[in-house]
Structure 1
Amino acid sequence: MTLDLYRADLGGRTREWLALHPDERRRRSVQACATKDVEALWSLTEAHLSLYGGSGLLASPHTFSAYRTGIRQFSQYAETQALNLLRLTPDDAQAYVLALLAQGRKIATVRGKVASASALYKALRWAGATDTAPFVGVRVPKDHEHPLTKNPPYSAAVLRRVLGVVEERLLSACGRERERLLRARTLLLLLAHTGLRIQEALDLTWEEVHLDEDEPFLTVRSGKGRKSREVYLSDRLVMALRLDRTLPRRRSHTAGMVLPFRTRAAAAKLLKPLFERVDEQGRVRSDWRGCHAFRKQTGTRLYEALHDFAAVAEVLGHADINTTRAYVRVGGRRAGKVMRDW
């Protein structure tokens, strides 16, 4: 019998790189670059992010997943262009940006890919594999399109229709189908009535749900920066959560969690079909814009009621009020009401 390092969790995988002698860490990193071994390159970067990233081990699974995808795609690009990863130049890095833009990638996506590649080179420098920093100073064009134009919030009409579809189907549903619809209603209301990030909703535990208070609320601790905040609940959401709590749990790894699934893909799979509709020409259309559009809808609705960016930022968990401004666009609508009376 032989002993091996524990690698089941992020901390264990990080300790594996830390346990290496610096010469061995460098050797493995150089070899991974020579063969463009995506798994090894990601493993090194993951360890460095866990140690020296802004949130370290507390970064969300989505963050790590996005970086992993970015490093895989950069490695594939380097392979097709026959680039030497250890000798990459700033011109090579800028050419990568040009290639991404030429593919029609959105500017926000390009920034994410550049951040992933930059993280890889920080890890390589940490491992002593190279001294080069090709992505320092790389220029990505500014995105002048308003975030609400690129991905607008759901309208109140769409949300009413979707929730109405769920309620109508619940009247005749039974068994597993009824459970699925009840969970879909809970998730819809959780996102639309609280403005939670989808990862915050997925991470929510029943210990953080306070339904028996005079003013029921959630304690949200899993947002960006691991900050804690309280979010108060609508009566409709309270009723949905109380009913959801009585539903059976069939998977032990979700015990204590509000939602019985752990991934964004599972959440989208549950909700996306509910947003399909048939138009006047009999064609199937979809109003689905992803989970983040619920958050923008909440921000816009709150601002229309409160006219207070600080209050909206507190609910959404934004540290910078300027971030909240990107979630709210009501000026044009309010101005339009005035201008019609001119």
Structure 2
Amino acid sequence: MDQTEIKILEYKSYLQIEKGLSRSSIDAYTQDLKRYRDYLESKKLNLVDVKPQDLTAFLKEESLDGKQTKTIARLQSTLRNFHQFLQNNQHTSNNPAQLLSRVKIEQSLPDVLTVEEMETLITSPDNTMAGQRDHAIMELLYASGVRVSELIDIKVDDVNIDMGFINVIGKGNKQRIIPITDRSAAILDHYIKNVRLNFLKTENVFHLFLTQRGKGFTRQGLWKMIKKYQLVSNTKKNITPHTFRHSFATHLIENGADLRAVQELLGHSDISTTQMYTHLSAKTIREMYKKFHPRK
């Protein structure tokens, strides 16, 4: 194992233990750094001797290879933070990525379902045990606005039916208490008491939602399940698990919810991230105006 690989492993441990990042975030940063390591090897560059122009050349090569603007921006951030970690731990004397100019990302607005489209999607599963489980999953996704990574980590004890809330551990290992509707609480109560036991294979599995094998869902497994019901409900929009989060926030704001409250529910550290949903809401209003105003 070469020195660069060792430093990447040290940084991965730092992200996990000290920063408390999610598994998916750590995996993404690790993959970025492995591509960076391969580039340095191809150019016969030593990590401690890297110059700003070397980093610029790497990013340019990634861009020419077809990487999207958003990916290049994340690569920049990864390099900046990784080299800062090396400097802070006296592995290098400076941070060559410090002066990299930030890539401007063109923000694309995600697809949002209407209330009617969401209702059609959520109620599309059949009445089998798997269908009732999937119904409960989609109901909770829309009722809470949680991230996919948060949902698959929810345990049975994180659900308080009587008080009407769920406990979620989000980015940076931060805890959020999220209220859920009476309807969602009733559906979850039915699932826990009458459905979940049919998927339970061993008693030491505590995940709320279980697969046919009696294990917790993966991100990929949940994505495939959502895509299945996109077809069943004949919904034309591009639906992913994150669509529920976008729709949750947009519908709250359209109905007058306070932006700070939505920020808290979503677990955003910066309110500027939450403000995206005000643009989504305005877009929806404009489309409705153009469709229904008599003098088009």
Give CA-to-partner distance per residue, 1:228-279, whole Å, 9 cap, x none. Answer: 4332222332222112213222255532x31231532232233222222698
Shift of 1:227: 3.8
Call closer, same or farther: CA 1:337–1:327 in 2, change over 3 Å.
closer
User: What one-letter code is carried by the residue in structure 2 that aligns with 1:184?
Assistant: D
What's the RMSD between the two structures over aligned residues?
A: 2.9
Q: Is the 8 A contact 2:166 2:177 kept in 1?
A: yes
Q: Is the 8 A contact 2:230 2:239 kept in 1?
A: no
Which residue number in structure 1 is paired with residue 183 of structure 2?
236
1:63 aligned residue (25, 28, 39): 25
1:269 and 2:220 aligned:
no
Q: Is the 8 A contact 1:90 1:138 kept in 2?
A: yes
1:199 and 2:154 aligned:
no
1:154 and 2:128 aligned:
no
1:313 aligned residue (253, 256, 263): 263
Shift of 1:211: 0.7
Which residue number in structure 2 is paired with residue 330 of structure 1?
281
Call closer, same or farther: CA 1:287–1:45 in 2, change over 3 Å.
same
1:219 and 2:181 aligned:
no
1:164 and 2:123 aligned:
yes
Percentage of matched positions with identical amino acids: 21
In 1, the alpha carbon distance for the partners of 2:67 and 2:277 equals 22
In 1, the alpha carbon distance for the partners of 2:81 and 2:260 equals 33
1:254 aligned residue (205, 223, 226): 205
2:11 aligned residue (25, 32, 45): 45
Shift of 1:189: 1.2
Q: Secondary structure at the match of 1:219?
A: strand
Q: Secondary structure at the match of 2:40?
A: helix
In 1, the alpha carbon distance for the partners of 2:258 and 2:105 equals 26
> What does residue range 8-27 of structure 1 map to in structure 2 within 5 Å?
none
User: What one-letter code is carried by the residue in structure 2 that aligns with 1:218?
Assistant: I
Q: Secondary structure at the match of 2:157?
A: helix
Structure number with larger C-alpha Rg: 1
In 2, the alpha carbon distance for the partners of 1:209 and 1:85 equals 47
> What does residue range 66-145 of structure 1 map to in structure 2 within 5 Å?
66-126=28-88, 128-145=90-107
Call closer, same or farther: CA 1:306–1:58 in 2, change over 3 Å.
same
Shift of 1:286: 6.9
In 2, the alpha carbon distance for the partners of 1:113 and 1:241 equals 40
Q: Secondary structure at the match of 2:178?
A: strand
Unaligned runs of 5+ in 1: 1-27, 280-284
Which residue number in structure 2 is paired with residue 13 of structure 1?
none
Q: Secondary structure at the match of 1:254?
A: coil
Structure with bigger RCO (C-alpha 8 Å, 6+ apart) = 2
Which residue number in structure 1 is paired with residue 213 of structure 2?
none
User: What one-letter code is carried by the residue in structure 1 that aligns with 2:3?
Assistant: A
In 2, the alpha carbon distance for the partners of 1:196 and 1:253 equals 25
**Normalising to structure 1: TM-score of the pair?**
0.72
Q: Is the 8 A contact 2:165 2:178 kept in 1?
A: yes
Give CA-to-partner distance per residue, 1:155-209, whole Å, 9 cap, x none. Answer: 434433322321xx32xx4xxxx2x322222221111111112222122222221
Which residue number in structure 2 is paired with residue 12 of structure 1?
none
